[in-house]
Amino acid sequence: MQITWKKILALAATVILILYGVSIWWSSEPDVLEPEVLNTETGEIITGYATTSALINTLDTLLSKPGGWLSNDVAPPSVLMDNMPAFEFGALEQARDLALIMRKEFSRSQSQSTADNDLFEAHSKLNIAHSNWLIPSAESQYGDAIKLLKLYRARIADSHNQNAQFYARADNLNEWLKEVQKRLGSMSQRLSASVGQERLNTDLAGDTAARQSTPNLASQHIKTGWWQIDDVFYEARGSCWALLNFMRAVEVDFADVLKKKNAEVSLRQIIRELESTQQTVWSPMILNGSGFGLVANHSLVMANYVSRANAAVIDLTNLLSQG
């Protein structure tokens, strides 16, 4: 009987080690993507191809990386993993924002123009819950969105097809940057809350006539729960990874606009800060030291890069808004 129990324990230990090894492999983060460019017969870059390809390749990478889409898995080891699902969700949120702006702004010449059907359907499919595993599953809907985006990309690459357009203008680029500002600002606040802080209520600041539906406290203590610290960190890391892919593509498609506004350096500064967020994490776990304590605080380091990237986005928005 004793030998049988030893075999059972040895088998259980082997299974646990295998699952642990698989979880480490599946937790490997994807590399930053290079912009994909297509030229016309005359050598000119097809406007919008790089940005659309960046969205397609980012989504495809999330679905085809080791382990595939892990956020909706209900079996071990992925059901016990939270870092990579958080990374996936952060990247997905950025993809949803870009898909929305492509549908509302980049593909439309003016407010009265109609939305592109492929982009409309693609954005709708991206909005399914990332943890949905029943029919339809999240990855099946995201896969359909990729197919629709490829159809749109093929149409803008066809010089004889006038039914699909990508307009690289300063005003519609600004609309996307406004969404980026909101996302980065929220991300920075959540990361900074890892050590806890007292925040003053500035909801109505700057407008004496402003009102809100229900009153808030003058100040509030905000602190991220201990179990959520690593999730917030990896969500921010995934969001910055996707945003970096998109910024590199925007640098290609909006090159003339950026040059006219003398804003190339501002965009490169954003890219540089986002690249810093993708540095290797050497610690086996996300540390949460307090302020200037002995132990590092990875969330505050990430918040620093995110805040600097957000400041650069604000500068770029101001440049693009100038005549």
pLDDT digits (tens, 9 = 90+) for 27-61: 889 999 999 998 887 778 999 999 999 999 999 99
The 3-state DSSP composition of the chain as helix, strand, coil percent (nearest 5) reads 60, 5, 35
- Does residue 2 surpass a pLDDT of 60? no
What digits encode the pLDDT tens for the residues 267-310? Answer: 999 999 999 999 998 888 888 877 677 788 888 999 999 999 99
Long-range contacts of 300-304, Cβ-Cβ distance < 8 Å, separation of 24 or more: 300/191, 300/192, 300/194, 300/195, 302/191, 302/233, 302/236, 302/237, 302/277, 303/188, 303/191, 303/192
pLDDT category of residue 223 using cuts at 50, 70 and 90: low
Phi, psi of 66 (to 5 degrees): -55, 125
At residue 1, the pLDDT reads 47
Which whole number is the average pLDDT over 177-201? 83
Which whole number is the average pLDDT over 256-260? 93
Which whole number is the average pLDDT over 178-194? 91
Lowest mean pLDDT among 66-80, 124-138, 200-214, 241-255: 200-214
Residue 313's Cα: distance from chain center in Å? 15
pLDDT category of residue 263 using cuts at 50, 70 and 90: very high
State how far the Cα of 137 lies from the Cα of 140, in Å rounded to an integer: 5
What digits encode the pLDDT tens for the residues 122-153? Answer: 999 999 999 898 889 999 999 999 999 999 99
At residue 224, the pLDDT reads 66
Residue 86 burial (C-beta neighbours within 10 Å; 0-12, 13-18, 19+): buried
State how far the Cα of 38 lies from the Cα of 45, in Å rounded to an integer: 6
Q: Are 294 and 236 in contact (CB under 8 A)?
A: no
Residue 60's Cα: distance from chain center in Å? 14
State how far the Cα of 124 lies from the Cα of 119, in Å rounded to an integer: 8
At residue 125, the pLDDT reads 96
- Does residue 221 surpass a pLDDT of 70? no
- Does residue 322 surpass a pLDDT of 50? yes
At residue 314, the pLDDT reads 95
Pick the more confident residue, 168 or 80: 168
- Does residue 182 surpass a pLDDT of 50? yes
Which whole number is the average pLDDT over 68-92? 87
Residue 236's Cα: distance from chain center in Å? 8
At residue 163, the pLDDT reads 85
Instruction: Report the percent of the chain where pLDDT is more than 90.
Output: 57
- Does residue 106 surpass a pLDDT of 50? yes
Alpha helices per DSSP H over 65-217:
83-101, 117-126, 138-157, 170-192
State how far the Cα of 320 lies from the Cα of 266, in Å rounded to an integer: 11
Nearby residues of 219 by Cβ (< 8 Å), 6 or more positions away: 198, 199, 200, 201
State how far the Cα of 168 lies from the Cα of 63, in Å rounded to an integer: 29
Residue with tokens 């059901």: 79
Instruction: Supply angle C-alpha 198, 201, 205, rounded to 5.
Output: 140
Lowest mean pLDDT among 62-66, 83-87, 287-291: 287-291
pLDDT category of residue 23 using cuts at 50, 70 and 90: confident
Question: What is the dihedral angle through the alpha carbons of 133, 136, 138, 139, rounded to the nearest 10 degrees?
Answer: 110
Pick the more confident residue, 94 or 22: 94
At residue 113, the pLDDT reads 75
At residue 291, the pLDDT reads 67
